[in-house]
């Protein structure tokens, strides 16, 4: 099939990934191409060229000096993104009409949804986040939104039910050929974006109370938070490994005795947990959002959100779980192959009907 994938423009779809959304889109595009589909990925500059990338035009539109005097003018970065998606959607509705069998939107911008009625090609849009005002507004434009929505978890589908009552649940998947089972036995690991809602400082507190070494890895997306809450907790048994690529993460996570997940918000899915389980590494974390759908019985231990004492105590239980069984669970429940099969089935339905469901 000919699939056009719209990515978020905020970060390149390339390693080392800025976050779970970028990793997910890369894996989907790569998996579809390896299965023989013709993929075009509309993404920000610097994205992996092997994915058939057409870079979103993030050059700021030429704003006149007169317009710049408008005190209500939006920030330049906002204009860049707005212009890029406006240009893309107009092309898909015009010159590129008929270029794709299906369009799959993964951006967090409102324009692909708001302008979908102008595009004749069926569109799927994956809900990766909790509801946002801009997207809710776009969905409610006109007489009815023609987009078919998929949610990354039952939790996320329920959160959007007020405006999307029939979202299909297609859980995210990880490439279990790349995320291989590791030997374990090493320090605890926490990995992800260094931002308050991911709570890496709570992982450091729990590891300290459990008197176990821990390694953190990931991009520093919020420098002020990192310097205030994470940096002062490092040292001794706590180390920051930096922003690692996938191969480095697979090695680190595969050697970990357990991976800690400490969300301070309701995770839409919990990709970090799925990646850890694919390495045979037990997950010990907070039971928030979609995390409870990823970490099943025997795959890890989840405790009440924010309870670092309970998390520290649970680590001793998690590290005793059999790694081979955890790996088997991940292959059955968290695989990229299952996710791609679900999406290609949906693509086929929409391409056959010629309209969004």
- Res. 245 pLDDT band, cuts 50 70 90: very high
Tell me, what's the pLDDT at 354? 62
Task: Give the rounded distance of the alpha carbon of 352 from its chain centre.
Answer: 29
Give me 251's structure tokens: 């090695």
Instruction: Return mean pLDDT, the chain.
Output: 94
Tell me, what's the pLDDT at 1? 95
Give me the residue label for tokens 């212009």.
83
What are the beta bridge partners of residue 53?
41
What are the beta bridge partners of residue 186?
256
pLDDT(71) > 80: no
247 vs 214: CA distance, rounded Å: 19
Task: Read off the pTM.
Answer: 0.91
- pLDDT tens for 144-178 read 899 999 999 999 999 999 999 999 999 999 999 99
- Res. 64 pLDDT band, cuts 50 70 90: confident
144 vs 326: CA distance, rounded Å: 43
What would the mean pLDDT of 11-25 be, rounded to a whole number? 94
pLDDT(63) > 90: no
From 46, 49, 11, 55, select the one nearest 30 (Cα to Cα): 49
pLDDT(273) > 90: yes
Tell me, what's the pLDDT at 254? 98
- Res. 356 pLDDT band, cuts 50 70 90: very low
Tell me, what's the pLDDT at 287? 97
Percent of the chain whose predicted confidence (pLDDT) is above 70: 98
CB distance 236 to 214 below 8 Å: no
What would the mean pLDDT of 14-40 be, rounded to a whole number? 95
pLDDT(211) > 50: yes
- pLDDT tens for 274-324 read 999 999 999 999 999 999 999 999 999 999 999 999 999 999 999 999 999
User: Per-residue b/e over 19-50, b at no fewer than 16 CB within 10 Å?
Assistant: bbbbbbbbbbbbbbbeeebebbbbbbeebbee
- Res. 357 pLDDT band, cuts 50 70 90: very low
């Amino acid at each position: 099939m000919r699939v056009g994938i719209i990515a978020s423009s905020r970060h390149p779809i390339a390693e080392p990934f800025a976050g779970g959304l970028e990793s997910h889109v890369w894996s989907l595009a790569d998996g579809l191409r390896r299965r023989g589909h013709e993929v075009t990925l509309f993404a920000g500059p610097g994205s992996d060229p092997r994915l058939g990338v057409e870079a979103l035009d993030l050059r700021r539109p030429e704003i006149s000096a007169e317009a710049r005097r408008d005190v209500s003018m939006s920030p330049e970065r906002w204009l860049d993104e707005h212009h890029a998606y406006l240009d893309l959607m107009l092309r898909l509705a015009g010159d590129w009409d008929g270029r794709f069998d299906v369009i799959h939107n993964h951006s967090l911008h409102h324009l692909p949804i708001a302008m979908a009625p102008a595009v004749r090609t069926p569109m799927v849009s994956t809900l990766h986040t909790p509801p946002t005002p801009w997207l809710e507004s776009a969905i409610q434009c006109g007489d009815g939104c023609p987009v078919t929505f998929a949610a990354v978890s039952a939790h996320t589908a329920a959160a959007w039910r007020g405006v999307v009552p029939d979202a299909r649940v297609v859980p995210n998947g990880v490439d279990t050929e790349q995320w291989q089972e590791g030997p374990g036995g090493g320090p605890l690991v926490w990995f992800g974006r260094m931002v308050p809602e991911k709570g890496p400082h709570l992982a450091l507190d729990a590891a300290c109370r459990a008197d176990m070494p821990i390694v953190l890895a990931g991009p520093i997306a919020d420098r002020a938070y990192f310097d205030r809450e994470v940096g002062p907790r490092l040292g001794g048994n706590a180390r920051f490994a930096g922003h690692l690529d996938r191969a480095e993460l697979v090695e680190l996570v595969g050697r970990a005795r357990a991976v800690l997940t400490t969300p301070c918000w309701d995770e839409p899915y919990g990709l970090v947990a799925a990646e850890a389980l694919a390495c045979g590494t037990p997950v010990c974390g907070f039971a928030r959002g979609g995390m409870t759908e990823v970490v099943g019985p025997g795959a890890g231990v989840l405790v009440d959100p924010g309870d670092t004492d309970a998390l520290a105590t649970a680590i001793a239980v998690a590290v005793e779980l059999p790694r081979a069984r955890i790996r088997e669970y991940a292959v059955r429940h968290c695989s990229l192959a299952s996710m791609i099969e679900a999406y290609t089935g949906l693509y086929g339905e929409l391409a056959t009907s010629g309209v969004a469901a």
